[in-house]
Structures are given as structure tokens and as C-alpha cells.
Structure 1
Amino acid sequence: MALHTANPSCEPLRVSGDAIVNAAGERIVLKGTALGGYLNMENFITGYSGHEHEHRSALASVLGKKKAEFFFDRFLHYFFTEADAEFFASLGMNCIRLPFNYRHFIDDQNPDTYKKEGFDFLDRVVDICSKYNLYVVLDLHAAPGGQNQDWHSDSGITKALFWEFRIFQDQVIELWKAIAAHYKSNPVVCGYNLLNEPADPEHTRLIAWYERAEKAIRAVDPDTMLFIDGNTYAMDFSRFDNVLPNAVYAMHDYAMLGFPIPGQAPYSGTAEQRTKLRKSFERKVAFMREKHVPIWNGEFGPVYADDRVDPEADKINHARFDMLQEQLNIYDQDKVSWSIWLYKDIGYQGMVYVNPDTPYRRLIDPFVAKKQRLALDFWGVVDKEGVKDVYGPFIEGLKKMVPEHLQKKKYPHIWDFQRHVERVVRETLLSEYLGWEFAGLFEGKSEEELEELARSFAFENCIKRDGLNRILQEDGQRSVPSTP
């Protein structure tokens, strides 16, 4: 395979004022994507319901431990290869954000010994990216106890226990020390994204943890940049005050105009809609502006309609492409670094997605359609009307039991009472039950069949989302000033 070498070779990067720069002081704008669903799996990305550790356990219960491990190993092999890196680099982008789950490194029953496989998995991606001059930001997406209340922290519950137990916080600092010792002086690994979308109800524990983590990591690796997410899902910096040295501050800029919200007018580029996008962005970056530090938009991007089931899919998707283009225009004005969510999935959001005619999609698509009808996945749900007759009366009954002023008390406060109930009942409890149904689809599969299912995720078995990739490629070609 011929290597794509349009990107300059990776070199050590650092923070200078509000810019990321190389050794010559030239501004570097990181433009990339995330390998979500890979070393940190998510239900809407690959099709199961519930949480990753439940999914892995359910598959082991029907396949046996050995065959389940075989399937997951082959899945990881095919999910990201040199073909993926070559395609990504060909678009002119230069950075891969690599989310990972702490479980690849820490066995909860033997937490004092790190698993070698975790480093092997990271090394494989870093080595591939080095061949195509792609920087890597390592992103701890799931921490012990869960650093937020959502499914992607893989806690299996709707509480962020990471903040309640010092032992969890210390575990993660020690893990980052080990990772930093492994990658220090490696120019491909340009940053450590210490915690994805933390959500500390008290706010202060997060800031104190960042300060402790920075000191511990700097004793091991004094040079690699740190990427610091804001609180409440990387959207709230209101309690932040001081800035850490050589740190890039990260916000996430999802726009509701890019999601299928009932009654919402599609994006059409009106002055009001453009102003809304700009105001949302500026609110999230006010801290970075005040402190004159670099901005990294660690996640953003709309979702897309499926033309197999939605006759309006082309119209909807073109509107969302236009919205994405406007977001990129906003980021370009200040040369903001960004990482779109995400690279590969089964068809909802990815730059590339698994072909519906592959063995994996043919096996799981009926279940995914059922998940849609039952509204089990928050991120992958288009329409909740199918379960309104069940949950509507239920939630109204619950509201009568709780005084109205208390319904707004539970953190995160951006979620209303109904959203909290959905999290617990549908997306946690019911999703765990249906996870066993999903696992049943794999029952009796031979290793040869499992190999073919995993191979469905290979680049050659994926469809490129051309409209999205064209926009990203054009943005990747925008000029960057040589000095900050």
C-alpha cells in the first residue's frame, strides 16, 4: 500500500498563548475525527443496547468466553486498519482522537496490575497513524465508577460514582502516569485528553482532580499537551479559574439543529439560526477567550437520516451538511482545533459506515429497528412516538408523586424530569434486558461466521458518506497562518 504523505511529519507540539504550535512556533490546527465505538464501544455505533461491559458479558454467555474474545479481537482488528488511516489522511485532516475504556487496562478484580493488551491496542493505532503523519489524542472515555451519568462512561448505572470515591480518582491518575511513561517523547501522541465529558455535581472535585492529575503526569512526562474537558459534558467552565500549563481546553459543540427533534424547523441558513450556532459556541468558549488559551472542540457533528426508511433523507441530510459547514466556518475564523464525532459506525453519524448488505448488518438491523421503536438508545432514537402510550401515562403519574420544584433539582440540570426517568428506565434497565436478546443473535455462530461478522467493519466493506467527507476535505485544505 502506498503511503499518503500529504501531511507533514508529526513533531512535538506545545501550547503557546492561544495556539498549538510546533518547535518553530508555527500554529498547528488539529482537524480530525474520533474512533468512537472502537476501544470504547457505544450502543448506537455498533448496534447493541445498554452498556459495553453488559454487551461483552452477554455475548460471552451465549458464545462462551473464548469465542466471544475471538469475535471482539477480530472486530478490533478490522475496525481501524491502514486503509482507514490512508483514507482519512487523503482528506487532508491530521488528527485522530482515540477514546478508550479503562477496562482495557484495569481488571476490577485485580486493579493493581495493568493489562498488557491495553497498551497493545493503543500502540497499534499509534503505529498506523505514524505512517500517515496523523497525530493522536488519547481520550479516557470511560473511567472507573463512571465520570458522568451516561452510557458511554460504561458504569451501568446513571450515577457518576467516580466523584464519590477517591480510590477511583487515584486509579485514573496512576493509569495516566503509566500511559504517559509509555508515550512520552513520542511526537505522534500529541495529547492526553484526561476525562471525556466529566459531570461532577459539585464542580469543585473535578477541578481539584485536574490539578492533582497534572502534577502527577508532569512528574513522568513534562512535555505532552493535556486536553482538559469542561464540566457537565464539556460545556461548563463556570467554576474554572486558573489554567494549567501546556494545556488545551476542550468543549463539545453539538448543535440541536443537527438532530431529529420533533417540531424543530430544519436548518436553512437563516440569520437567526446562524446566530444561534455562534452564541452556543461563544458561551462554551468564554473561559478560553478570557484566559487566552487554545480551544479544542473535542466533539460535534449532526446525525443523518437513512434513505432506506425516510423519503426525506436527502433533503434532511443536505440541511445538516449546510449546518455543519456553518459550524466549520465559525471555527475557522479563530483557527479552532476540532475533532468531529465520528469516523465509523453502522449508519447514523459516521464518515464511513458499514454496508447494510454485510453479514453483520443483515444480522443486527432488525434488532436496531426494534431499538428504534422502543426508543432504547438516546443517541440513536429518531422518534419516541412508538412508546408514548406506555411512557406518557407512566411519567405523568410519576410527576404527580414529586413536587414540581423538586423535579428540577437533580443534576445534570439540563435534563428535565422526563429525561432522568428515560435514562434509568429505558436506556439502562430495559436496555440491559434487550441486550440479552441482541446477544442471542450470535448464538451458535462458528469462529468462521464470527470472522465474517467482524470483517463487515473492514474499510472495504464500508460506504463513504461523500457529502460529509467532501465538506471535511475542503475545510482541511483551508490555509493556516504560520505564526500565532
Structure 2
Amino acid sequence: MGSFQSKSKSDPASTTKMSNKKDFLRVDGEKIVLDGDEIILKGAAIGGWMNMENFITGYTGHEHQVRAALKEVLGEEKYEFFFDKFLEYFFGEEDAKFFASLGLNCLRVPVNYHHFEDDMNPRVFKKEGLKHLDRVVDICAKYGIYTIIDLHAAPGGQNFDWHSDNATHKASFYDHKDFQDRTIILWEHLARHYKDNTWVAGYNPLNEPTDEKHVRLVAFYDKIEKAIRKIDPDHILFLDGNTFAADFSAFGKPLPNSVYTCHDYSNYGFPSAPEMYTGTKEQVQLHKDNFKRKTAYMRKHKGPVWVGEWGPVYQNAHDGIPNWEKVNDSRFDVLNLQLGIYDKARASWSIWLYKDIGFQGMVYTGEETPYVKLLGDFIQKQKRLAANKWGADDSHVKDLFAPIVEWLSSNAPTFKNRYPAKGGVNDSWNTAGHLARLVRNILLSEEMVKEYAEYFRGKNMQELDDLAKSFHFDNCTQRTRLNKILKEDSKRGEKGISSSANEKV
């Protein structure tokens, strides 16, 4: 049986020139430790920043599509200006200070490979690629916040969804060696840059991989672990399970100094919930069983648990749901249930997400900001059409698609077994889900990108700066109840009330 134990402190290969080994977080059996003392990482992801996602900032389609459309509308100079200011304002010192005030100690930082290289100029790294990533890593360090660098979008698409900036329904990453080689070279580049930075908790080489054959992902992890360790022997690797970080069935013994990570979204936290969560014995047990299934590999090998993503979405008065406040109460109850499960397992976690336009974030752009006022009608339209997948309420279009779902199911009944097979708390991969992705989330959504870009036509530099500044912390609204819950949970470790990781959940 494999062991999660880190390399011995006396191992000369595990030292660095500039940093003392004891200053790095490391895996020690079931724990993440700092010089022998257990550290439980609790925080959030800064999704929508160096890896943009449609529902987070209100566009449709995929990041490379919206960037291309905005470049065409704005021209090169204004395009570069707007996105540089957007990256600057989205996370600054005020954000880090607020984050730390909640007792949170870790920020997961999703990045898109396009920041570092271009597809038409591969393996040539951009000089400006690390500018904003360095800035945020340094700001977080100032406030005692660790960062985990997460490759959310790899060349070719390590999964087949919008969040890997993949505009197809195929994960080509596993079919082309060149995509994998480029990803390894990129991580070697990042490892050289951050190998001595002890405030970087570690590297998350691939977010939510979806390898239909399963074994190709495991082989890639073996390769990238060796490549990174040759350059950087000290940082932890955070390795997502297959099938959106939920399936470890093909994994063998664990790699050294690695944390195997699951994502644990509950369908009861979304509009697609089978029923309102009311805390019944059956509902509670379903969540416990789901977490137990996703963490079976970690418990078998006696390793630490990191829930890399989880968390509900929230409704607001503009959504047209009469009982929207009651719905949110239910989703906060789900949130509290999951926090209790994680605490009992002494699991580290990263909630999704820190900042957006009011759907899921701990803070979000205010209604009176230039960005939300400009795009308000478009944002509501894409919600009505369920153009984006995440947290979509398809009630307005469900009847329209129902006959096609029935037609597909009757003529190709194997849809029920199409990868990824459905099941568990997050049951969204069915015939209707596959149809929605191809027709609404790809075809319709990419066409609507043009409409989104037109809102920016004719904007001058000051107007573009104002739009980008809508995401500055001072212009954001806090989701007070969520943040209060997270702050209270951050104190649990201090009180020493957590249970053993081996205790049944």
C-alpha cells in the first residue's frame, strides 16, 4: 500500500537553495503540516480572474471566444488596457485583508494557460504572464494567506466543459501527446519561478480532469510529478480525481507529498435540486455517503483530504422566484451540513467562489456599478435562456427541449450510460444535460458572445477603466450571511473540536 508520507528531512534532494525546508507545507500521513504542526487549509477560489468563466462575470460562451470578440470591438490597445485593469482590480490588498479577517488561510488561484503562451506560439512564455499572479501571491503572503496555483484550463482541454476554456464536448488533452507535453513544460516553467516561495502551498496540475479511459490521467500524473520534482522537490501536489474530481477508481498508490482532492458540490444547492433541502435523515445521509465515497481513496491510504471545490449558488429578487429567500435559507443549511462533515473529517477545503456578479461569490459587484448597469439586461437574458450551464434554471426552456430529450432517449437509449455516468448527489449528466451543453451552452452561448461584446463598442479608456473597476473590493457587496458562516467555521480548529479523520462520516 502506498504512503502519503513526505520525503525524509535528511533527503538532500528535498532541500532548496534559498528556503529552509521546514518553511514549506508538507504532507505527513493524514495531515498537512508546517514544521510538524498540522495546518488545515480553509479558503476559497478566485475563479473568474486569470481563468474567466461565463457565469462569474456575465458573458456567455468560453473565455477565448469573448476575448476575441472584445478585441474585435475594442481594438488591440483598448482590449489590452481593459483586461489589465480587470485583473488589477479583481483582487487587491483590500480583498486579501478582508479574506484574512474571516480567518481564512488559503486562496486557490485558477489560471488559464493562455496567460503564459499562445497556441500559435507554443512553448514561448510571455514576459507579462506572471505579472498579476505574482502580485496576488505576494499580497496574500503579506496577510498570512497561502496560495494554491490551479491549472484550470490546459492545452486541448483536460475536460469538456466551459471552465477549461474548451469550446467543444471533447477533452482532446488525452488524445494528443503534444497537449500533455506543453502542459508539463508549462508546469516546469511555473515550478522554476515559485520553487522557493513558501507561501505557495502547492500546485494543482489539472482541474477536474475527465479521462474517459481513466488510465491516461494516472499516467500523466506520474509524468508531471517527476518533471516538477526535478525542479521543485518541496511543494505539495494537489491532484484532482478523475471525472470532475470525483473518481479515484483507477488510481494506484499515492505519489509522495501529494494531496488527492475531491470536489463535492451538492445538487441541493442548485436550481436543479430534486427537492428543497429540509435536513431530513435521508438527505443528510445522502451527503455523508457522497463524501465518504469521494474520499474512500484518501482514507484507504491514510492521506489528507482537500475538498478543492464545493458550495451552493444563491437566488436574488431579480430571478422571479417568489420564495427566493426561503430557497437561500435551504442552501445555507446545505452549506452548514457540508462544513460539519468536513470538520469531522479534518478536511481542508476551498469554497467556490470568492467574487462574481452576484450568483455565488462571497463578495460581488454592486448593482449600481457601471458593469452591472451596462450588462444587466444581457445577464437576465442569458439566465432566461439558460445559456450558461452553471447553476442554470432551465424552467423557461425545459418544455421546449423535452420532446428532443425524449426523441434522443428513445432512439439512443445508451445516452444513460454516456460518460460521465450519472449518480450521487450531483446528478446532472443525463440525456437532457448532454443536449443542453451542445445546443445551449455551446451553440447558443458562443453566438451570444457577439451580443455581449457590442455593449463595449465605442467605450473610451475612462469608461473601460470604470467598467473594470466595478470589480474592485470597494465597489463590491458582501454576502454577509455566507461570510459569517465561514468566519465561524474558521474558529473550529482553534477550539480543537474537530474529530479524527478516520471517524465515520
Shorter-chain TM-score: what band? over 0.9
> Hey, what's the Cα distance between the residues in 1 that align with 2:439 and 2:172?
19
Query: Which residue in the other structure is 2:229 paired with?
Result: 218
Counterpart Cα distance in 2 of 1:27 and 1:311: 46
Cα pair 2:73 2:453 within 8 Å, conserved: yes
Give the distance between the partners of 2:269 and 2:398, measured in 1 at CA: 23
Distance 2:407 2:249 in 1: 35
Match of 1:403 among 391, 398, 412: 412
Aligned equivalent of 1:434? 448
CA contact 2:73–2:457 (8 Å) conserved in 1: yes
RMSD: 1.6
Superposed, 1:39-438 pairs within 5 Å as 39-261=50-272, 264-309=274-319, 310-382=321-393, 384-400=394-410, 402-404=411-413, 406-414=414-422, 415-438=429-452
SS of alignment partner, residue 278 of structure 2:
coil
For 1:110 and 1:395, locate their aligned partners in 2 and report how far apart those are by CA, in whole Å. Answer: 42
Unmatched 5+ stretches in structure 1:
1-9
C-alpha contact (below 8 Å) 1:144/1:155 kept by paired residues: no
Deviation by residue 1:155-197 (Cα, 9 ceiling, x = unmatched): 2111100000011001111111110111112111011001000
> Percent identity among equivalent residues?
54
C-alpha separation in 2, matches of 1:271 and 1:403:
37
Which stretch shifts more, 207-216 or 112-121? 112-121
Task: Tell me if the contact between 1:40 and 1:141 (Cα under 8 Å) persists in the aligned partners.
Answer: yes
2:25 paired residue number: 13
Distance 2:384 2:325 in 1: 22
> Any idea what the Cα deviations from partners look like across 1:55-88, whole Å, max 9, x if unmatched?
0001111111211111111111110000000000
The amino acid of 1:403's aligned partner reads: A
Report the counterpart of residue 445 of structure 1 in structure 2.
Answer: 459
| Aligned twin of 1:7 | none
CA contact (8 A) 2:366 2:477 kept: yes
Instruction: Please report how far the alpha carbon of residue 322 of structure 1 lies from its aligned counterpart in structure 2 after TM superposition.
Output: 1.5
Query: Residue type matched to 2:76 in 1?
Result: K
Deviation at 1:389, TM superposition (A): 4.4
Whole-angstrom CA distance in 1 between matches of 2:123 and 2:349: 35
CA distance in 2, matches of 1:294, 1:92: 21
- Indicate if the aligned counterparts of 1:372 and 1:380 stay in contact, CA closer than 8 A: no
Contact 1:194 1:226 in 2 (8 A): yes
Does the residue aligned with 2:123 lie in a helix, a strand or coil? strand
Which deviates more, 68-77 or 161-170?
68-77
1:467 matched residue in structure 2: 481
What amino acid does structure 2 have at the position aligned with 1:13? L
* Paired residue secondary structure (2:110): strand
Contact kept? 2:261, 2:307, Cα under 8 Å: yes
Shift of 1:381: 1.6
Mean CA deviation greater in 471-480 or 303-312:
303-312
1:385-417 CA-partner distances (Å, limit 9, x unpaired): 3223432333334445x332x323432222222
Deviation at 1:32, TM superposition (A): 0.5
What corresponds to 1:5 in structure 2?
none
Using structure 2 for the length normalisation, give the TM-score: 0.91
Mapped contact 1:408–1:416 kept (Cα < 8 A): yes
Contact 1:147/1:163 (8 A) holds in 2: yes
Q: AA paired with 1:433? A: E
One-letter identity of the residue aligned with 1:31: K
SS at match of 1:276: helix
SS of the equivalent of 2:312 reads coil
Deviation by residue 1:263-311 (Cα, 9 ceiling, x = unmatched): x332222222111111110010000000111110000000001124433
Seen in structure 2, the aligned counterparts of structure 1 residues 80 and 282 have a Cα distance that, compared at 3 Å, is same
Contact 1:254 1:302 (C-alpha < 8 Å) held by counterparts: yes
Q: Which deviates the most, 436-445 or 114-123?
A: 114-123
Contact 2:60 2:387 in 1 (8 A): yes
With normalisation by structure 1, the TM-score equals 0.94
| Counterparts of 1:201 and 1:253, CA distance in 2 | 20
Partner Cα distance (2:210, 2:40) in 1: 27
In structure 2, distance between residues paired with 1:231 and 1:250: 10
User: Which residue in the other structure is 1:479 paired with?
Assistant: 493
Mind listing any 5+ residue stretches in structure 2 that lack a counterpart?
1-21, 423-428
